[in-house]
Structure 1
Amino acid sequence: MNGLKAGIVGFLSERTLPSVRTLLATRQPLVWLLALIIGGVGAYAILAFRWLIGAVQWLWLGNSSENVLSTVASFREPWLIMLALVGGGLVVGFILRFTTHSFRTHGIADVIEARAIHGSHIPIRRGLMSAVASAISLGAGASAGREGPAVHLGAAIASFLESRFSLPGAARRVLLASGAAAAVSASFNAPIAGVLFAHEVILGHYALTAFVPTVIAAVGATLITRVHLGDFPAFIIPDYHITSYWEFPAFALLGVVCGLVAVGFLLSIMASDWLSRQVDLPIWVRPAIGGVIVGAIAIMVPEVLGVGYEATNQALREKYSLEFLFLLLFAKTAATAITLASRFGGGVFSPSLYLGAMSGGAFGIIAASVFPEFASSYGVYAILGMGAVAGAVLGAPISTTMIVFELTGGYEMTIALLLSVSIASVITQALIGQSFFGWQLSTRGLYLGDGPHRRIMRTWKVADFMTGLSPEDSENPVKLGPDDLRLTPEDTLEVTLRAFDTTGLDRIAVFDPSNMDTQIGWAEYTKALSTFNAALIEANIEEHR
């Protein structure tokens, strides 16, 4: 008996008590409570965001729901479509010109950037103004998705709430991801996908300590939105089934096709953005000009308006012909690329689902004409195409697969969807080398896909580890010639270590960037290495704890 008691006491002292101390030291109970609050506040923020989109849409359409096609079809004056887009573009342009410093709306790439290099800080004003501009854009009919602005808004709320507490860096990053998880869950009624998205796209890892807060935020947000909006999938589809296992080669080929569609979509966005940057126009007029072009497309093909859920649903329910599916595929690609290039607010997830449904549906019709005895209904291929294109564009095959499941309720096509999504993602990576978010970050000089060591090398600065001048150094400052090597506090760790390697010195003088003749400190080789190693260890622990 005494031996058993001693064993229990030994176990508690060796295992349980240290675990409890670590839990309290990292302030996990507070993180869980904040995650719950973030989920609740984020859910109501997303509900308000969706309401604002509907309110703006009601001003010109008389209809605040996402089903706009029947109302637009009854228009006797189709020029109202262009008037709405141009008017909305002018308002968005005014917001960008006079209320933002970056002259653009913000989205998921900005959340990833904040997690990586900005200490998980997103100004709440930036999140709110970006959400307003995006809501006006989408309500006016701009061809984009609502998920990007929603995730940014959720993350900005999380950043605002956690900034009231002195939390460790890892906890701040987890709460930022919790805000993203809450936003995805509230936007799409998809809590599992929200959690996976936060880990796969925002954090880049699946650590258990991060899993609990993201789940709490996602579940809390989902419960609130279901109370107000009900519990039903975004797309109501018939009870589809896969006809034969002989179709799996066709599903693999569909993955190839969807990968090429994703590549075409990404290249269209890149090309449109490049062209828009070559035109010297005031920022306030750019969305209005984009509204003219998108409006001209929408007058002919109104299915490109807004997030496009109604047209996507029609494709899933097999309401379109082969020719019309191809028309929508090209029209939506052009409309979305122009929308984003002209600085309207919005994301790419909903357009990616749209393009996937159209390309998958067209593939299914062709497959049925070639092998009528084996092919399933083209609605099956449309569902698979949704996941394949969206997963490839976002660079998030796992969470996208789950989002499609939760949006459609089509859980019976699990294996086929995983096959198509994985192949499409591989094709896109092989031809483009990065996701939509990766491309956005690369245009800002950020390459976060190379691993934590690269991120640390490029984000830590000399100011983080430099030492000041001693009294003796102040009396006898270093005298350098015009060609001698100098460092400044803003030089990165990568630049510093390369300088040490090139010169072989143990320390290098740091100068005031405003006056390169004034020395303000020293960068020491041992401290630079210690800083790098400590940051690398911290990142490794965070990703695996």
Structure 2
Amino acid sequence: MVRLRKSALVIAAARQRRRLRESEAAFILLAAIAGLAAGALTNVQQLIAHGIQSLLYGVTINRLSALGMIHHPWKLLALPVGGLMLMLFARGLRNRQRIPVDVVEANALHGGRIPFADNLVIASQTIISNGAGASVGLEAAYAQMGGGVASQLGQWFTLRRGDLRTLVGAGAGGAIGAAFGAPLTGAFYAFEIVIGNYTPAAIAPVMAAALSAVFVTRALGADPYLIATTAGRAFSVSDYLLYALLGLLCALFGMLIMRLVAFTELSVHGWRRIAGWKPVVGGLLLIPLAMLSPQTLSAGHGALHLDLVLRPALSFLAIVLLLKIAASVISLSFGFRGGLFFASLFLGSLIGQIFAGLVNLSPLGAFIDPNDAALVGMAALSVSIVGGPMTLAVLMLETTHDFALMGVVLTATLVSSAFTREMFGYSFSTWRLHLRGSTIRSPRDIGRLMTLTAGRIMRTDWTAVSQDMTVAEFRDRVPLGKTAKVILIDAEGHYRGIVPTAAAFHPDLDETSAVAGLATQSGIVLRRAMDIRSVLKLFDEASADELVVIDDDEQVIGVVTERHARRRYFEELEASQRELFGESG
């Protein structure tokens, strides 16, 4: 009876899951639940990180980066201590055979599937890094936990691939919306940075998650991240041109920062003597930077607000800009974990204020408000590094409520985004994945095509003969009409080329000659693991209509025709399009 009761419960649960997959209203409700969870987790992580900073540095009301100076320099030992904690944490994970999957990678390659342990690893490392004062933000942990919880919900309900990707994006976007108290920002973050496109079917669930997450922040009475406010006014054509120039400048800085992180990371990776102690060494290197300016500590929330209020001298802003870039590069290169979202907002505000100061000092007679320039610089630099022009434009709108500013922000972000894409082609997250050998350039779902390999689409009904055969022996073995092409192999079974059957029956051919002389494409082969795009590229380069697939031992295991490969490719594209527009077909 107990066994029958359990079986009935399993059947009932499966039925409910099926109903949810088929109901749009139920899916929106599930997204709202994911948003509530993401909002709660964002506030919990923020509380833990700030609690660590309070314990280590004694900060209470102010943000760590807003400190005027370090009154007790010995407290900066928290930086290498944090590095030591990360080092011990990494040693505890030594048995793990892979790098944790983040939300962008999960949606691009794995259909939204994220192992829950990966979420805990990324969030823990980020909280330790930020809590110790390293120059990284918590936004990566927020998005990871929000998207990770959504992924677990979606997997439990066995959602379709497209729905699971949408739910992961909704969870990650909800977490970012909760951090800034800005639901539209969270929604656009989901569309542009995690899902990779805007789709009619995703609008309602993503917005439901973002609104739910922000509701949690407001219900808890938590203060969202402060940006700045500005007064409404009209902008002239010359203002638009100046802010477009600022967008271009921010794109150059964004690409420089990403290159610096990559260069330093690769250089540090080669230092064998400190291989296991990199976070500790990084923490020690951050101490003198923090002594010069506490604004290099943490993500920079307090410092951003402080500089906008106090309007410091250009020389001070320039020094802080250089120190903050150095701190961010050191933090990420030496093993601290976190994102560059808010750090890029802070750096962008510094670039904007410096730009405004230089313009206002120039003999051109132009004047731009430093606050406006700071806000435009924040959006433009973040777009270059993080991506998502509409995400940052809407963030500025939701935090300032200034519709006039929206025009120049969009101008600068679009210039920055276009220039970065043209000259660099990556955001910070996809750039780091690229350095690890991935082909990801955006969160768009390429997982289907990556799993559509030569080994999956090959056929195994091929005919093989020895390369030592004569033409006469070949004609006896393979009569006309049996097969169009024959594969030649040597005595060890290694591939040696393809022989068209008709060529062996040419009337002018000497029957005693070796059939190997008729072989073509002897050096052109497919490997089992080659993805469909690589397969099609090789077909184009070889101008072939059929290629063999070999294994690691050079043994022939199958044959792929160009026609079949292209048909399978377009079938997968069509399936992706159906999911994109919410069709179950």
The TM-score, its normalising length taken from structure 1, stands at 0.84
1:360-415 residue CA offsets vs partner (Å, 9 max, x unmatched): 11111222223697524312211111111111222221111112333444443111
SS of 2:220's equivalent in the other structure is: helix
Conserved? CA contact 2:527–2:550, under 8 Å: yes
112-121 vs 139-148, which moves further? 112-121
| Cα separation, 1, equivalents of 2:31 and 2:458 | 36
For residue 447 of structure 1, give the secondary structure of its aligned residue in structure 2. Answer: coil
1:52 matched residue in structure 2: 48
Partner of 1:126: 118
Corresponding residue for 1:29? 25
**Residues 273 and 419 of structure 1: CA distance in aligned 2, closer, same or farther (over 3 Å):** same
Give the structure 2 partner of residue 536 of structure 1.
573
For 2:577, give the aligned amino acid.
Answer: N
On the 8 A contact 1:27/1:167 being kept in 2, the answer is no
Cα distance change, pair 466–332 in 1 and its aligned pair in 2 (3 A):
same
Change (3 A) 1:486 1:246: closer
Instruction: Give runs of aligned pairs for residues 264-275 of structure 1, distance below 5 A.
Output: 264-275=256-267
Q: Structure 1 stretch 208-217 or stretch 258-267: which is displaced more?
A: 258-267
Q: Of the candidates 222, 231, 247, which is equivalent to residue 255 of structure 1?
A: 247
State the partner residue of 2:507: none
1:218 offset after TM fit, Å?
0.7
Per the TM alignment, residue 279 of structure 1 is displaced from its structure 2 partner at its CA by 1.8
User: Structure 1 residues 84-93 or 233-242, which shifts more?
Assistant: 233-242
Deviation at 1:191, TM superposition (A): 0.9
User: 2:179, 2:224 within 8 Å by CA — same for their partners in 1?
Assistant: no
Query: Is contact 2:136–2:339 with CA below 8 Å preserved after alignment?
Result: yes
Distance 1:347 1:450, change over 3 A: closer
The farther-off stretch of 456-465 and 40-49 is 456-465
Per the alignment, residue 92 of structure 2 pairs with 98
Equivalents in 1 of 2:578, 2:454: separation in Å? 24
Q: Secondary structure at the match of 2:156?
A: coil
Q: Which residue of 2 aligns with 1:433?
A: 425
Aligned to 2:133: 141
- Structure 2 unaligned runs (5+)? 1-17, 463-486, 497-523
- What amino acid maps onto 2:567 in structure 1? S
**Corresponding letter in the other structure for 2:30:** L
State which of 410, 414, 436 in structure 1 corresponds to 2:406: 414
**Which residue is equivalent to 1:311?**
303
Alignment map for 1:34-433 (pairs within 5 Å): 34-63=30-59, 67-69=63-65, 73=69, 75=71, 77-81=72-76, 83-99=77-93, 110-230=102-222, 234-237=226-229, 239=231, 241=233, 246-281=238-273, 284-370=276-362, 374-433=366-425
Aligned to 2:504: none
> Residue 490 of structure 1 aligns to which amino acid in structure 2?
A
Aligned in 2, Cα 1:493/1:87: closer, same or farther, shift over 3 Å?
Answer: same
Residue aligned with 2:136, SS: coil
What is the distance in 2 between the residues matched to 1:494 and 1:376?
Answer: 49
Question: Is the deviation greater in 48-57 or in 310-319?
Answer: 310-319
Indicate the SS of the match to 1:192: helix
Q: Give the whole-Å Cα distance in 1 for the aligned partners of 2:170 and 2:444.
A: 21
Task: Determine which structure has more spread, i.e. the larger CA radius of gyration.
Answer: 2
- Output the CA distance in 2 between the equivalents of 1:256 and 1:495: 35
> Identity percentage over the alignment?
25
Please tell me the residue identity of whatever aligns with 1:90: L
| Most deviating of 211-220 and 239-248 | 239-248
1:196-242 Cα offsets, whole Å, 9 max, x none, are 11111222211110111111111111101111134766234454656
Return the offset for 1:508. 3.9
For residue 399 of structure 1, give the secondary structure of its aligned residue in structure 2: helix
Aligned residues: 513
Q: Which moved more, 1:331-340 or 1:492-501?
A: 492-501
Q: Is the 8 A contact 2:107 2:445 kept in 1?
A: no
Q: Render the CA deviation track for 1:53-91: whole Å, top value 9, x for unaligned.
A: 01211221122556125657362x31321x100000010
- Higher mean Cα deviation, 56-65 or 497-506? 497-506
Over the aligned positions, Cα root-mean-square deviation in angstroms equals 3.3
- Give TM-score, length-normalised by structure 2: 0.79
Ranges in structure 1 where 5+ consecutive residues have no aligned partner: 1-21, 471-477
The aligned amino acid for 1:80 is K
Distance 2:357 2:377 in 1: 13
Change (3 A) 1:226 1:89: same
Cα deviation 1:244-278 (Å, max 9, x = unaligned): 66433322222232222223222222221221222
Return closer, same or farther for 1:51/1:233 CA change in 2, 3 Å cut-off: closer
Is the CA contact 1:97–1:103 (under 8 Å) kept in the aligned structure 2? no
Matches within 5 A, 1:389-538: 389-449=381-441, 457-466=449-458, 480-481=489-490, 482-484=494-496, 489-497=528-536, 502=542, 504=544, 508=548, 511=551, 517=555, 519=557, 527-538=564-575
Residue 13 of structure 2 is matched in structure 1 by none
Contact 2:83 / 2:280 at 8 angstroms: preserved in 1?
A: yes
* Mapped partners of 2:344, 2:99: distance in 1: 19
- SS of match in other structure, 1:163: helix
Determine the structure 1 residue equivalent to 2:474: none
Question: Which deviates the most, 122-131 or 535-544?
Answer: 535-544
Structure 1 pair 464–104 and aligned structure 2 pair: CA distance change class (3 A): closer
Tell me the distance in 2 between the aligned counterparts of 1:151 and 1:29. 24
| Deviations, residues 273-325 of structure 1 (Å, cap 9, x unaligned) | 22122222565411111111112211111111001011111222243111000
Pair 489,260 (structure 1): closer, same or farther in 2 beyond 3 Å: closer
| Separation in structure 2 between the aligned mates of residue 194 and residue 418 of structure 1, nearest angstrom | 17
What secondary structure, in the 3-state scheme, does the structure 2 residue paired with 1:320 have? coil
Contact 1:241 1:376 (C-alpha < 8 Å) held by counterparts:
no
- As a proportion of its length, which structure holds more helix? 1
1:490 aligned counterpart, secondary structure: coil
Residues 237 and 287 from structure 1, CA distance in 2 versus in 1: closer, same or farther, beyond 3 angstroms?
A: same
SS of residue paired to 1:317: helix
Question: Which residue identity lines up with residue 78 of structure 1 in the other structure?
Answer: P
Q: Could you tell me how far apart the structure 2 residues matched to 1:291 and 1:123 are?
A: 30
Aligned partners of 1:93 and 1:283 also within 8 Å: no
Please name the residue that 1:8 is paired with. none
Amino acid at match of 1:45: L
Distance 1:369 1:388, change over 3 A: same
For residues 359 and 539 of structure 2, the distance between their equivalents in structure 1, rounded to whole angstroms, comes to 61
Give, as a single letter, the amino acid of the residue that structure 2 aligns with 1:443.
L
**Against the structure 1 CA distance between its residues 189 and 106, is the aligned structure 2 distance closer, same or farther, given a 3 Å change threshold?**
farther
